[in-house]
Amino acid sequence: MFKLLSAAISLVFLLSAAPVSETGSSEFNSGKSGFSVRFGDEITPYHVTGVFVLPSQKLEIEAIGQSAGTRFSLHSQSGQHRRLSNSGWEWQAPEKKGLYPVRVIDPISADTVLLNIFVMVPRSEKKGEYLNGYRIGKYPVTPLNGLESYRGPRGFIEVTRENEQTLISPNFTLKQFLCKQAGDYPKYVVLRERLLLKLEIILEESNRNGYRANTFTVMSGYRTPFYNKTIGNGQYSRHVYGDAADIFIDHNPRSGIMDDLNGDGKIDHKDAAILYDMIENLYHEQWYKRYVGGLGAYKERYPVRGPFIHVDARGTRARWGR
């Protein structure tokens, strides 16, 4: 337990203390709080983070990296919670699907961490290929190589016109990860928190290296198995499991394709390579090991699309396209 806590505190320190260069980062807001919060197996240093649970699920929440003895407070208008320590609680989700904000507050600094907790619709409510009229399709019966990360999702986040702009990290909204398939609301999406944390780290690193962006354009986030099949992708694509994103920087000018990152007057695979190499370099950092996953580079295919990169948090290393 002591080793786990020490490792968690080390991770918090490294995430919070990462250097920020003067080049390209002066206007970027990483959205980091003065303390971090552990929820389940994840740790967030950010002022706001999306969390995805099932009805009535119990979730341990703990403020970490703070001065010893500080008695934090937790504010939640829904669900039940009980204090476990000065900085920890057990929170139980309501039975009804929906968004339930939970706020952890440092009484000394008044700094806060907001957990936007979504109670998902259990997978058991899916009827055939459909959930409430929205076509999901079929997940593989057998996980790839028996890996737990390739089991079908436990539930689906219901997305409405009212909640789609909800922040699920400081610089990303729920809407950015919606499947591109046609259909009216409500829509459904699968997301894993580690992907969101990973994207924020990459975004901050991009700005630190002088590649300015307030967010990434998420060209493809979650894909339903139905949609994934219609575009000819394999059934085990990480996109159907909610921990993958195809991204590019589109900041100056906003054009719908990747920015000219290397300044050569062209927008091509060399710009995607810059992001790829930057992300690859993060793997030399010990604290980044928990974000191990896939990394791929894709060349431009005009007039259909420009270059982009794929990142995921599958838990094992995979590389392609570079």
Between 222 and 18, the more confident residue is 222
pLDDT at 68: 64
Quick check: 11 pLDDT over 60?
no
pLDDT digits (tens, 9 = 90+) for 273-312: 999 999 999 999 999 999 999 999 999 999 999 999 999 9
Cβ burial, residue 111 (10 Å; 0-12/13-18/19+): middle
Task: Quickly state the pLDDT bin for 8 (edges 50, 70, 90).
Answer: very low
Between 15 and 316, the more confident residue is 316
What are the C-alpha distances in Å from 199 to residues 32, 73, 278? 14, 28, 13
Domain residue ranges in the chain: 32-116, 120-320
- One of 3.90.1640.10, 2.60.40.420, 3.10.129.10, 3.30.1380.10 is the CATH number of 120-320, namely 3.30.1380.10
pLDDT at 26: 56
pLDDT digits (tens, 9 = 90+) for 53-76: 999 999 999 999 876 678 999 999
Could you check whether 32-116 and 120-320 share the same CATH topology? no
Helix segments in the chain, DSSP class H: 2-17, 193-208, 225-230, 269-282
Task: Give pTM, 2 decimals.
Answer: 0.91
pLDDT at 27: 84
Quick check: 23 pLDDT over 90?
no
Quick check: 1 pLDDT over 70?
no
Quick check: 10 pLDDT over 60?
no
Share of the chain above pLDDT 90, in %: 88
The reply to whether CATH 3.40.50 applies to domain 32-116 is: no
Task: Quickly state the pLDDT bin for 16 (edges 50, 70, 90).
Answer: very low
**Main-chain dihedrals φ then ψ at residue 17, nearest 5 degrees:** -100, 10
pLDDT at 203: 99
Contacts of residue 310, defined as CB under 8 A and 6 or more positions apart, other chains included, come to 244, 245, 246, 247, 294, 295, 296, 297, 298, 321
Mean predicted confidence (pLDDT) in 117-133: 98
Quick check: 196 pLDDT over 90?
yes
Mean predicted confidence (pLDDT) in 127-153: 96
Quick check: 318 pLDDT over 70?
yes
